[in-house]
Amino acid sequence: MKIALMNEFSQAAKNPIVLEQLNDVAAEQGHQVFNVGMDGDNDHRLTYIHLGIMAGLLLNSKAVDFVISGCGTGQGALMSLNAHPGVVCGYCIDPSDAYLFAQINNGNALSLAFAKGFGWGAELNCRYIFEKAFTGEKGQGYPPERKESQVQNAGILNGVKAAMCKDYMEGLKALDQELVKTAVTGERFQACFFEYAQDQALQDYVRSLLDG
């Protein structure tokens, strides 16, 4: 599985801490991690609005399979990611959140709080969150006897979102194009996206922004 890590400017200093734990867990489980921003205060500046755009592009193009995101409270990144078609993001503050989201909702992104409650032992909490998020088979239900209804409801919710959202490309083009361009300007984002994206139309769109 390919996993992207992204955080915005206010929590840029936390990126190396979170990345270390994610890399350790991913290495144990055979996953690949892409750190697409931000890594330190001098990195390409992103807000949680940009994170939603980046996550939408990476997931809808199938460049990655899962996104770990976050901001100070985790709420802004959560709302931003869930605004995009094809992104099902959960809010996660402890390992049980990660486990239950994987089993009940079976989404493809998590938003973490990188400031609120991020104190002593925070790196351990991150590690245990990642272990629960990526260990074992997803969508098994909790408790197990409720699997059938939970899988059905998760599918219905995905259908509701698809019905309520615009065509993804149409939606991207309806946004402020400078906003989208800022989101895709980071070198590490581009390296991941252009190497692994499986949607040529999305690749062409991003290249047109960067060349414009």
Contacts of residue 69, defined as CB under 8 A and 6 or more positions apart, other chains included, come to: 5, 6, 7, 51, 55, 77, 81, 89, 109, 110, 111, 112
Distance separating alpha carbons of residues 82 and 102, to the nearest angstrom: 16
Residue 67 has, within 13 A of its CA and on its CB side, a CA count of 35
User: Rounded to two decimals, what is the model's pTM?
Assistant: 0.96
Are the C-beta atoms of residues 104 and 154 closer than 8 Å to each other? Answer: yes
Residue 153, pLDDT score: 94
Residue 74, pLDDT score: 97
Query: What stretches in the chain show pLDDT beneath 50?
Result: none
Distance separating alpha carbons of residues 54 and 78, to the nearest angstrom: 13
Of 128, 93, 87, the closest CA to residue 113 belongs to: 93
Residue 41, pLDDT score: 79
Task: Return the amino acid letter for 31.
Answer: H
| Domains of the chain in sequence order | 2-211 (3.40.1400.10)
3-state helix, strand, coil in the chain (%, to 5): 60, 10, 30
Model confidence pLDDT, tens digit, residues 89-130:
999 999 999 999 999 999 999 999 999 999 999 999 999 999
Sequence-ordered strand ranges (E) for 10-65: 32-37
Distance separating alpha carbons of residues 207 and 51, to the nearest angstrom: 18
